[in-house]
Amino acid sequence: MRIKNLIVFCLSLAIVAADQATKLIALNDFYEGESVSVIPGFFNLTLTFNKGVAFGLLADLPDPTRQVLIASATLTALGVIFFLLIKHYRHDFVAQLALAAIVGGALGNIIDRLRLGKVVDFLDFYYASYHWPAFNLADSAVCLGVLVLMFRPTKACKVSPAATKAVS
């Protein structure tokens, strides 16, 4: 295994481990709804559970329907990520790291769903009357990976002089 592949793999594992460790601490140290101010007026640690997906979407669906939809979407997303890794980002290490962050975050939340039937959230940011939905390290890794891919400059295709001449 090449060193870059090992780094990508280890990044995913590190994200899963850090995510699960912080969730375990939150579960052991807080009861649901308990809130501890870290930065008054801006950041609390608040234990909540999310049965849905991002921002609680699908949380109100019946359990079997919700579980099938979430599992299907997650498996599809992981399939797309592995396709991108193999076909499009084989030589782009930064994109591979971004995808590793997405995979690590997805796996961290999948573990929660399999173990608890819901995702543990505890990072709670707010300002004045605006309150961002609580989230966790796995969610942060997924968002960071997506942002890197969104703003990653794509490599321009090289056009041969013959092709340029043929067009003009």
CB 30 within 8 A of CB 47: yes
CA neighbor of 110 nearest in space, from 4, 9, 23: 23
| Number of other CB atoms surrounding residue 8 within 10 Å | 22
CA distances (Å), origin 62, targets 43, 79, 119:
32, 26, 16
Establish whether 124 is a catalytic residue. no
Annotated catalytic residue within 19, 112, 121, 124 = 121
Annotated catalytic residue within 19, 112, 124, 139 = 139
Contacts of 132 (CB under 8 A, 6+ apart): 124, 125, 126
Establish whether 112 is a catalytic residue. no
The residues annotated as belonging to the active site are 121, 139
